[in-house]
Amino acid sequence: MAKRGNSIIKGIEIDEVIKLLNRAYADEWLAYYQYYIEEKVVTGIMSKSAVTELAEHAADELRHADMVANRIMQLGGTPLLNPKDWFTHTNCGYEEPKNFDVLAILDDAIKGEQCAISTYSNIAEITRDKDIVTYDIVSQILADEVEHEEDLQALYDDINDFVDQVKSTIKG
C-alpha cells in the first residue's frame, strides 16, 4: 500500500474506490474471455477481419484488468480472488455468444463496450479532483473503450454494407 500516495486522496473513502475498481476488474476479465471465445467461434462474411479486431480487444481487456488490479493493490485492497466473484461484482455481465455469425458477435461486443464506457465515465466522475491517480488510470482505459466501440461499429457497418451490396447484386 502506498501510504503517502494514498494520503493525497481527499473527499472519497478509499474503500469506496476499491469497491468500484473491483467491479471494473470483474468486467475486464469477463470482457477478456468474451473476446477470447468470440474470436474462436466467429463465422461468416469477412469474419477474418473480425478475428483480428476481437483478438486485439481481448489483449486490451487483459491489460486493463492488470492496470486495475495494480491500482487496487496500491490502495491497499485485494483484487477479487475467485472467478466466481466476477459474476457477483460485474457491472456489464457476460454475454454468452449464442449466434456465431459475425454481425451478431459484433453487436454483442458493441453493447459490452457501451457498458464499459458508462462504467469508466462513472468512476472518472466520482474520482475527479479526489483521487487523481485512479482518475488518470480510468481515463486511459475509458479512451481505449471509446476506441473499441468505434472500431467495432466501423467493422459492423462495413460488413453490413457489403452484405447489402451482395443482396442487391443477386436481386438485380
Q: CA 9, 11, 15, 16 torsion: positive or negative?
A: negative
Whole-angstrom distance, CA of residue 78 vs CA of residue 85: 13
Q: CA 151, 46, 103, 34 torsion: positive or negative?
A: negative
CB of 120 to Fe ion, least distance (A): 8
How long, in residues, is the chain? 172
Binding of Fe ion by 149 (CB under 5 A): no
151 close to 53: Cβ distance less than 8 angstroms: yes
Residue of 40, 158, 56 lying closest to 105 (CA atoms): 40
CB of 151 to Fe ion, least distance (A): 10
CB of 92 to Fe ion, least distance (A): 10
Nearer to Fe ion, 131 or 144 (CB): 144
Binding of Fe ion by 23 (CB under 5 A): no
CB of 116 to Fe ion, least distance (A): 5
Judged by CB under 5 A, the residue of 72, 134, 145, 159 near Fe ion is: 145
Binding of Fe ion by 148 (CB under 5 A): yes
Site mask for Fe ion (CB under 5 A), range 31-70, x = bound: ------------------------------x--x------
Nine-digit cell string for 151: 472500431
Q: CA 105, 62, 2, 87 torsion: positive or negative?
A: positive
Residues near Fe ion (CB under 5 A) are 28, 61, 64, 145, 148
